[in-house]
Amino acid sequence: MAAAAGAGAGTPSSAAGACGGAVSGEVPPELRPIFRDAAARYELGSRGPSILAGLTSIESGFGQNMGPSSAGAIGWTQFLPSTWTAYGVDADGDGKRDPYNAVDAIHSAANYLRASGAPGSWRDALFAYNHAQWYVDKVLREAERLSAPGVEPTCETGIVTQATGTRRITGGGRIVGIPGMPGESIDERILPDLLALIAAYRLKVSDGYAPTGHAADGEHPLGLGVDLVPGPHGSWDDIDRLARWAEPQQGRPRPPFRWVGYDGDSNHGRGHHLHLSWNHAPAPARRPPAAWVDVFGTDG
């Protein structure tokens, strides 16, 4: 349970920072990138993802019991309303700070822990979150249990993938809405990648799936391409960092991307938009879904 505001001091960095460690298969798969990205954004170091996972497990059972508690704490990470007012963040860019939204709640917990002394002193930070030594010990034990020793992640500017970089998804491919981006949709298979990018780089999707209005032989008609601009609290510096990570050398995008359109490409660039396309099976008809698509992860 997050303690009343004022327990910590300092201002956390909003830029994606040090690489976060891995979390085990016991952590719900949809939450793993959120823990990693929240730890990266608030520079919580290699233990950050597992401690955020341990905290969320102890506080709400990964969303199974979101209160209110007897003390009035609510949401995924059990914030008291006064603490939420001070440390709650709109991490998914939908215009609301919502403790019942996993992305907002986990990033807010990371924000509070950072302001309370993490990663320099995890014990002090967790004691600020809930003023009880038994609680500190319990979260640290749970974090250890949920960690995945021996898995070495590769990280670049807040995005964590395994050493092999990508995995291929065959089948599926419904066009689904993008949370927090009204009117925008995308192939469901790249949605986790996109949400991780949005959280790490504070992005807004200006265009996703579009059967018309874009090049017929591009990825927008397949739902496998997006145009990106700065989102709430984001800047073109964030977009620049993502562009450099996605395409370290002009014309040579990092997998799983097929094409990156930015500075040096007509009608793209800083002040206009960044385009990302995911690698996919040939789709001559340009009608979704493509037979397969590559995404972040581990082959096999």
- The whole-number pLDDT of residue 286 equals 74
Domains 32-156 and 167-296 share a fold: no
Decide: helix, strand or coil at residue 222.
helix
Q: The dihedral of CA 179, 186, 110, 142: what is its sign? A: positive
pLDDT of residue 221: 95
pLDDT of 200-229, one tens digit each?
888 999 999 998 888 878 899 999 999 999
Give the pTM: 0.52
Q: At 148, phi and psi to the nearest 5?
A: -125, 80
CB-CB contact of 2 with 130 (8 Å): yes
Which tokens hold the place of 116? 């309370």
- The total number of residues written for the chain in this structure: 300
Exposed / middle / buried, residue 155 (Cβ in 10 Å: 0-12, 13-18, 19+) = middle
pLDDT at residue number 233: 78
**What is the pLDDT at residue 199?**
83
Burial 251-264 (b: 16+ CB within 10 A, else e): eebbebbbbbbbee
Question: Of the candidates 21, 76, 13, which has an alpha carbon nearest to the alpha carbon of residue 41?
Answer: 13
Angle subtended at Cα 240 by Cα 237 and Cα 241, rounded to the nearest 5 degrees: 90
CATH 1.10.3720.10 fits 32-156, yes or no: no
Q: How far apart are CA 196 and CA 92, in angstroms?
A: 10
Top CATH class, 167-296: alpha beta
Per-domain boundaries in the chain: 32-156, 167-296
Q: Tens digits of per-residue pLDDT, 249-281?
A: 888 999 999 999 999 898 999 999 999 999 999
The token duo for 225 is 């391409």
pLDDT of 22 reads 55
All residue ranges of the chain with pLDDT < 50 are 5-20, 149-164, 298-300
CB 161 within 8 A of CB 297: yes
Rounded to 5 degrees, what are φ and ψ at 235? -150, 170
How far from 259 is each of 138, 140, 227, 251, CA to CA, in Å?
Answer: 46, 42, 12, 8
What percent of the chain stands above pLDDT 90? 65
Position 148 scores a pLDDT of: 58
